[in-house]
Amino acid sequence: MGGRGASSGLSDKGKKYGSEYKTLYQTGNIKFVSYNNGSATAPMETMTDGRVYAVVNTKNEIKSISYYDKNKKRYKQIDTGHLHNVNGKKIDLHTHKGYIHDEKGTYEVSPKERKMIERVQRAWYYHINR
């Protein structure tokens, strides 16, 4: 099932499932993770129902928030912190829909997504400032 992991616990490259990320903090169904090698990318799959991952970059900022479907594969990712063209205008907060990243389009965040962004950022900033 690709290089990031399969239900067997090992990827096709022999990496142990979950070895690419480090858990920084968890509250409820939200897990804050950082990528172990290179730039911060969101996990493609999860092993936990209802999990939401918030990826933290090297500057200790939330880079993205990703959601997973009933098959535990990513179906939506909210990006924060960088501009992206959506409907001809550059916006900071935007949503990519699809497993790969953008195969189902890029959109402005919905009011529900904006509430999740605020919830994630509030939890993270509370955690790092204790």
Q: Are strands 30-35 and 94-97 parallel, antiparallel or unpaired?
A: unpaired
74 confidence band (pLDDT: 50, 70, 90): very high
82 confidence band (pLDDT: 50, 70, 90): confident
pTM > 0.85: yes or no: no
pLDDT at residue 16 in the model? 65
Domain range annotation of the chain: 24-128
CB distance 57 to 38 below 8 Å: no
Average pLDDT, rounded, for the chain: 85
